[in-house]
Amino acid sequence: MRRSVATALTAATLITGAVTAPAAFATTATTAGTTAQAYSCRYSVSEPYAYAGHYSGTTVVPGSTVVTTAGIEAQCLLKRAGFDPGTIDGVFGSNSRAAAKRFQTMMNTTYGYQLATDGIVGSATWPALRTYVCYRT
């Protein structure tokens, strides 16, 4: 049963990137009267990339209005890289975008990357973020 659920979640994530993480990895956070899920990060490394246990790809752009596994993953990796995205809730809102912009700017100025400094974790930023976290930890 667990294998079937895991397989279905993995397939759905690869296709859409919009499957939320299992409730077992979530806690509830309350900020200014609103309630949001806060997800845990389970870091691992498989050189040259680091992972946080929610999304393993490099193409899905985290959503800014819905919880996605890509959003949780990007938030976890940004936090591990030292760029605080706020609550790890899977919604890639203004705090997460600001953290991603700071990361992109740092990678461009310090390491000579040519990432767009748009706050979007897409096909160019994912590998840079995963590699940076891999070798930073």
CATH 3.40.50.10710 fits 2-136, yes or no: no
- Looking at residue 37, its pLDDT comes to 78
Return per-residue pLDDT of the chain as tens, 137 residues.
444 434 444 444 444 444 444 444 454 444 444 456 799 999 999 999 999 999 999 999 999 999 999 999 999 999 999 999 999 999 999 999 999 999 999 999 999 999 999 999 999 999 999 999 999 97
Contacts of 55-60 spanning 24+ positions with Cβ under 8 A: 55/13, 55/17, 57/14, 57/17, 57/126, 58/123, 58/126, 58/127, 58/130, 59/122, 59/123, 59/126, 60/16, 60/17
Tracing tokens 């100025």 back to the chain, one arrives at: 109
Instruction: Report yes or no: 87 and 31 within 8 Å, Cβ to Cβ.
Output: yes
Phi, psi of 61 (to 5 degrees): -85, 125
- Left, alpha or beta for 86 (phi > 0: left; psi -120 to 50: alpha)? left
Domain ranges for the chain: 2-136
CA–CA distance, 63 with 87 (Å, rounded to integer): 15
Q: CA end-to-end span of the chain, whole Å?
A: 35
In eight-state DSSP terms, residue 83 is -
Q: Which amino acid type is present at position 98?
A: A
Q: Can you give the pTM of this predicted structure?
A: 0.77
